[in-house]
Structure 1
Amino acid sequence: MDLNFSAADVAFREEVHAFIRDHYPAYLHDKIDEGEEMEKQDFLAWHKVLHQKGWIAPAWPVEYGGTGWTATQRYIWSEETARADCVRLMPFGLSMVGPVIYTFGTPEQKAKFLPRILSGEDWWCQGYSEPGSGSDLASLRTRAERFTGDDGKEYYRVNGQKTWTTMAQHADWGFFLVRTDPTAKMQEGISFLLIDMKTPGITVRPIITLGGEHEVNEVWLEDVIVPVENRVFHENKGWTCAKFLLAHERTGIAGVAASKRNVERIKDVARNTADGGESLLANPFFKRKVAELEVDLAALEYTELRTLAGESAGKGPGPESSLLKIKGTEIQQRLTELALEAAGVYGAPYFRSMGEGDNSFAVGPDSARRVAPVYFNMRKTSIYGGSNEIQRNIIAKMVLGL
C-alpha cells in the first residue's frame, strides 16, 4: 500500500479535522473526562451527526450507504477520530450485523434493516456467547425449533441463555446464533436469527463489571417466537455468517488508531509528574517499555493497512484478522498497564471520587481518574471476539498449514 499521501488525501484530512472540530458534540468530551457512564443517547449523538453527513459507514459498499472512501481515506478517518478522542461508535450494527445482512440477507431484509442501522433507529446487540460456549462457540446450546403457526406462517421457538451481551439493556434488535439441528455436526446445525428484543420471553439481566459499569448482560430466551423470515442465509448454515462476522469484528478490535493516541497520552502523563519530580520517561525501564510498545504498534499498523488495502481490492478479511486481534488486544492491555504505572499510587482502585455529592473527593492528577477501571475492563479484550488462544489455532491451521 502506498503510504505517501496525495494532495487529495491531505485535503481530505483537513476536511475531516475541520468537520470533527465543528460538529463533534462537545459535552461528550466533558462526560468522558469526568468518568461518567455513557448512555445510549450519548453514543447516538455522534452517530446521528455522522449519518446526516453521510459518513456513518466508511466500510460499507456505496450502494448500501457507504462512503466510497479509499483505504487511505479510511485510515485517515480512523486517525483523526482517535486524535480527537471521539466516542467509539457501537459496532454491533455498523461493523457486525450490517455487513452480514448486505452480504447474505434477502432483498427484504436489506430494505428493512440497513437504513435503520445507518440512521441509528435500531440499536443492536450480539447473542453469541453462552455459559460454557464462548471460545468454543460451536458448542452453543440455545435451541430454535421450527413450527407452523395458526396463521400458516413458519416460525422458530427459541429457548436458551446468552451471556456477556454488551449493551443489551439498550438494544432494539439482536442477532443470535441458535441450534436448529441438534443431530448435525456442531458447526452445521446452527442458524443466524435476527430477533426483536421486545419479543415476549426475552429477559435481560445486568452483569456489573469490576469498574462498576453496567456494560454487559445475560440474556434469557424462554419460548421466544421468531418468524422464519428473520433468519439470515440458509437454515443450519449460520456458521458461515458467524465466521464472516467474526472476521470483521476481529479486524475492528485491533484499534490501532486509538492505541496510538493512548501511547501519546501516556507519554504526556509520564513527562508531567504530579509532584514536579523527575519525568517518568527519564526512567530507562519505563522508557524501554514505551519504545517496545511503539515498535509493536507500528508493525500492527502496517498489517492493518495491508488488510484495508485488500478489502478495498475486494478481498474480505482472512486469517490476518486473527493476527490483528491478537496483537491489537495485547497492545491495548499493555497500554493500560503502563497507564497504571504512570499514575502510581493515584491509580489505586476505588481511591478516587469516592462518596457522593459534597462527600466526594479526588486525590491526585485528573489523568489517574479512570486508569484502574479501564485496566480492569480491558482484561476482556484477549477473550472476546474469539479468545487469543483460539486465534493462534486459526493462524496455525490457515497460515502455517499445521
Structure 2
Amino acid sequence: MPIGISDDHVELAGAFGKWAASLGGIEAARAAEEDPAATFSEITAAVDEMGLLAITADGGSLVDLAVAVEACATALLPGPLLGSAVASAVLPELPGPVALCLDGSVVHDAPGSTHALVVADDEVRLVPLEGVELTPGAGPDLTRRTSLGELSAGDGTVVPDLSAARLRSLVVTLAAAEASGVARWCLDTAVEYAGVREQFGKKIGAFQAIKHLCAQMLETTESVTAAAWDAASAVSEESAQQEFATLVAGVICFDGAVSAAKDCIQVLGGIGFTFEHDAQLYLRRAIALRALVGSSSSYAARLAGLAADGVRRHVHIDLDEAEDEARAEVRAEAERIGALPEEERRAALAESGFLTPHWPQPHGLGADPVHQLVIDEELDRAGVQRPDLKIGAWAAPTIIAHGNDEQRDRFVGPTLRGEIEWCQLFSEPGAGSDLASLRTKAVRDANPDGQSGWRLTGQKVWTSLAHAADWGICLARTNPEAKQHAGITYFLVDMKSEGLEVRPLRELTGEAMFNEVFLDGVFVPDECVVGEVDGGWKLARTTLSNERVAMAGSHLGDSPERAVRLLVAGEVAEQRAAVGTAVAWATVVRLLATRSTLRSLAGQGPGPESSVAKLVGVRSRQDSAELVVELLGPRIFTDDDLAREALHEQLMTRCLSIAGGTTQVLRNVAGERILGLPRG
C-alpha cells in the first residue's frame, strides 16, 4: 500500500498517479539523455498547473504533499520537483522552480530552476540563479540534472524560521516519499513480470526462489513506506519526535529503495540489465536519492544518540468525537478495575468485557476498532495490564465461532478468568507447517460407561505449555479416505486423559517450554468435538471477523533497549550506528502495526502491513538480539545478569522464524495471497 491510508489520501494518490503517468516523463528523460542542461520545462509547467506545489499553501498537510510526491516518483517524473516541493512547504510563495544546494557547491536540479535553497552555516537563503555561472555536473539519475559551482549565499535572502537542520529534515522527508514511490514501482514491476514470464514450462513466480525474492521486496517496500509516512506525519509534533521520525526514515528508506531496485532487476533477469528497460532508471533515481541525503549510518548514529537520551516514537491517533463522549464511562470502569487488588483484576476484566473487547458479547463487547483503542488507552491510564491468554486466545475464539452453547458456557468464561490453560496439539513430526498431512487418527468408539466418542492415537510435537495445560485443541484425521484438507476434525482434549503422555523437549536455550505429546487411544467424547466431523480444517484457520486492534507501544523490545542501555553506559560508542539501526527497525515494526490499525479505523480491509510486520519483526528481534551479544564481547563469558539475558534472548529468538509457520512458508503465503503470484 502507498503512503496514504485514509480514503482522501487514497483518492489523492490515485489522481496524481494517473496524471503523472500521462505526462510521459520517462520518455522525456530518455530523449534528453545527452543534454546535460535539459530543463524538462513542459513537465515542470504541468506540475505547477496541477497544483502539486500549492498543496501546503492551500491548507494541505505535509502528508498530503508526500502522497503526491510519491505518486510522481512512481511515474519517475523528471525535472526540479523535489527541491520545489521542499520549497513549497516553507515558502509562502514560490518564485518558480527551486533547486537545492546543501553543501555549497553541488546544485541539484539547477537546470530549469530560477532559485536555489542554499545552506550557509545554520541558516538557509533563497538565492536567485539568474546570472550565476554553473557548470553541468554528472550524476546517475537520468531524470534529473546537477550543476557545480560556488553559490554566494550572501546574494540571497534569508528564509525566516528555517534552519539548516530543518531544511535537511524536509529534504529527507520528501526524498523518502520519492524512495517509497521508487520501491513500489520496482515491486509491482517485478511481481507483474514474475506472473507472466515462463521458464521450464512454468511462470517464474511459481518458483520459490522468485517468490521469496518478491516477498522480501514486499517487506522492504512496506518498511520504506511506513517510515516515509511517519516522517511526514510527525512534522506537526514536538521537535524530538520530528527528529526521531526523520532519522528512522534516513536509516530505512534510501537503502531500502536501492535494495528494491536491485531485486527488481534480479527478478527481471537479462531484460532488467538492458538500458532499454526502465528498471535501470529507477535504480539510478534510488542511488541519486541516497547520495543526496547521505549514508544511512550517519542517521543511525544520530538516532542512537536520541534513543540514549530517552526519546522513543509515540504515534498519536485522533479518535472519533463520539468515542470521546463515551470515554467517561470507559474511564470509570477502568479506574474501578484498577482500584481492585491485583488478584481480583482478571475476573473483573473478563466480566466487564475489557479483557477481550473485540470478542462478541457476552464474552467481549463486540467493540469496533475505535472503541477498542479507547479501552486500551484508559486501561493503560489506570495502570491495568491485561493477562496473556496464550493459546486460549486461539482456542476460545474458535469455540465461540463454531462451538455449541454448552461448549461456550463450559470453556470460554473459565479461559478468560484463568481457570483453564490451553495448549495446541496441531504439529506432528511429519506435519509441521504442512498441517494437512497430519497422521494422528481418530476412530469411533465408546468409553466403558457407554458414552459415545472417539479414540485418538498419534504423536504431537513442539507443543508449547503442554506440561502445564488443562486442555488442548487437537486436530486428528477422522476420514483417511478424504483429501488431505478434508477428513480432519477439531477436538478438545482433556490433558489429564488416560493414555496421554507429555514428554518435555529441552530446547537450545536449555529450557523445556516445548513438549512431545503421545496419544494412545485417548478417549474424547462427542461433546468435545467442535463444529462438524471432518470439518476441522476450516476451524483451524478461524479468526473472528472482528479482529483485535491495538496501538503499538513505544517500547523498542528487550534487545534494542539493552543495546541503548549499553550505549548510555559508554561501553559501545564505536558501534553507535549499529545500535541506531536496531532502533530504526524496531520502530518500523511498530509503525507497520500502527498503519494496520489506522486501516481498520478507516473501515478498510486488512492490508499487507500485518503480514509484513510478522516477517520484519522476526528479523528485527533476531538481529537485535545478536547485536547485543556482539556488543558485550568478552563479557558474554561472565555470569552477570545482562550476559545471561542477552545470550538467552539470542538463542530463544531462533524459534521465531520457525514457530507459527516458518519464515520461508510465510513468504510463500505472502507471495501468493498478497502479491498474487502463482502457486508452485
- CA–CA distance in structure 2, aligned partners of residues 187 and 170 of structure 1: 30
1:40-83 alpha-carbon deviations (Å, 9 max, x no partner): xxxx997457446653223312x1321454424545766887xx
Give, as a single letter, the amino acid of the residue that structure 2 aligns with 1:374.
E
Q: CA deviation at 1:107?
A: 1.3
1:260 aligns with 2:535: no
1:189 aligns with 2:487: yes
Question: Which residue of 1 is the match for residue 521 of structure 2?
Answer: 223
- CA–CA distance in structure 2, aligned partners of residues 291 and 320 of structure 1: 17
Alpha-carbon contact 2:592-2:609 (below 8 Å) kept? no
- CA–CA distance in structure 2, aligned partners of residues 385 and 177 of structure 1: 16
Local SS of the residue matching 2:654: helix
Give, as a single letter, the amino acid of the residue that structure 1 aligns with 2:490.
F
- CA–CA distance in structure 1, aligned partners of residues 652 and 424 of structure 2: 18
Alpha-carbon contact 1:267-1:281 (below 8 Å) kept? no
How many residues are aligned here?
Answer: 359
Question: Which residue of 1 is the match for residue 311 of structure 2?
Answer: none
Question: Which residue of 1 is the match for residue 428 of structure 2?
Answer: 130
1:303-331 alpha-carbon deviations (Å, 9 max, x no partner): 3553x548xx697x797654343233223
- CA–CA distance in structure 2, aligned partners of residues 85 and 269 of structure 1: 27
Give, as a single letter, the amino acid of the residue that structure 2 aligns with 1:233.
G
Structure 2 vs 1, CA of residues 127 and 260 (structure 1 numbering), >3 Å: closer, same or farther? same
Structure 2 vs 1, CA of residues 54 and 127 (structure 1 numbering), >3 Å: closer, same or farther? same
Question: Which residue of 1 is the match for residue 401 of structure 2?
Answer: 103
Q: CA deviation at 1:236?
A: 1.0
Give the alignment of 1:240-259 within 5 angstroms: 240-244=538-542, 256-257=552-553
- CA–CA distance in structure 2, aligned partners of residues 200 and 155 of structure 1: 14
- CA–CA distance in structure 1, aligned partners of residues 654 and 384 of structure 2: 21
Question: Which residue of 2 is the match for residue 177 of structure 1?
Answer: 475
- CA–CA distance in structure 2, aligned partners of residues 19 and 296 of structure 1: 33
Q: Which moved more, 1:328-337 or 1:11-20?
A: 11-20
Question: Which residue of 1 is the match for residue 621 of structure 2?
Answer: 332
1:89 aligns with 2:382: no
- CA–CA distance in structure 1, aligned partners of residues 596 and 489 of structure 2: 32
Higher relative contact order (CA 8 A, sep 6+): 1
Q: Which moved more, 1:159-168 or 1:140-149?
A: 140-149
Q: CA deviation at 1:152?
A: 5.0
Q: CA deviation at 1:18?
A: 7.0
Q: CA deviation at 1:154?
A: 2.3
- CA–CA distance in structure 1, aligned partners of residues 622 and 373 of structure 2: 22
Give the alignment of 1:314-353 within 5 angstroms: 322-348=611-637, 351-352=638-639
Alpha-carbon contact 1:280-1:286 (below 8 Å) kept? no
Name the % identity: 33
Q: CA deviation at 1:85?
A: 11
1:272 aligns with 2:564: no
- CA–CA distance in structure 2, aligned partners of residues 158 and 388 of structure 1: 31
- CA–CA distance in structure 2, aligned partners of residues 219 and 135 of structure 1: 17
1:213 aligns with 2:503: no
Alpha-carbon contact 1:246-1:385 (below 8 Å) kept? no
- CA–CA distance in structure 1, aligned partners of residues 349 and 662 of structure 2: 32
In structure 2, runs of 5+ residues without a counterpart are 7-316
Give, as a single letter, the amino acid of the residue that structure 1 aligns with 2:422.
W
Give, as a single letter, the amino acid of the residue that structure 2 aligns with 1:283.
R
Give the alignment of 1:30-41 within 5 angstroms: none
TM-score, length basis structure 2: 0.46
- CA–CA distance in structure 2, aligned partners of residues 151 and 282 of structure 1: 69
Give, as a single letter, the amino acid of the residue that structure 2 aligns with 1:286.
V
Structure 2 vs 1, CA of residues 59 and 140 (structure 1 numbering), >3 Å: closer, same or farther? same
Work out which of the residue numbers 577, 582, 604 in structure 2 matches 1:284.
Answer: 577
1:75-111 alpha-carbon deviations (Å, 9 max, x no partner): 5766887xx8969614211x10110000011111111
Give the alignment of 1:365-380 within 5 angstroms: 366-380=641-655
- CA–CA distance in structure 2, aligned partners of residues 382 and 173 of structure 1: 26
Local SS of the residue matching 2:521: strand
Alpha-carbon contact 1:322-1:394 (below 8 Å) kept? no
Question: Which residue of 2 is the match for residue 55 of structure 1?
Answer: 354
- CA–CA distance in structure 1, aligned partners of residues 567 and 519 of structure 2: 52
Q: CA deviation at 1:398?
A: 2.1
Question: Which residue of 2 is the match for residue 200 of structure 1?
Answer: 498
Local SS of the residue matching 1:337: helix
Question: Which residue of 1 is the match for residue 675 of structure 2?
Answer: 400
Alpha-carbon contact 1:266-1:338 (below 8 Å) kept? no
- CA–CA distance in structure 2, aligned partners of residues 161 and 109 of structure 1: 25
Question: Which residue of 2 is the match for residue 35 of structure 1?
Answer: none
Q: CA deviation at 1:158?
A: 0.4
Question: Which residue of 1 is the match for residue 592 of structure 2?
Answer: 299
Work out which of the residue numbers 142, 152, 158 in structure 1 matches 2:456.
Answer: 158
- CA–CA distance in structure 2, aligned partners of residues 398 and 77 of structure 1: 32
TM-score, length basis structure 1: 0.74
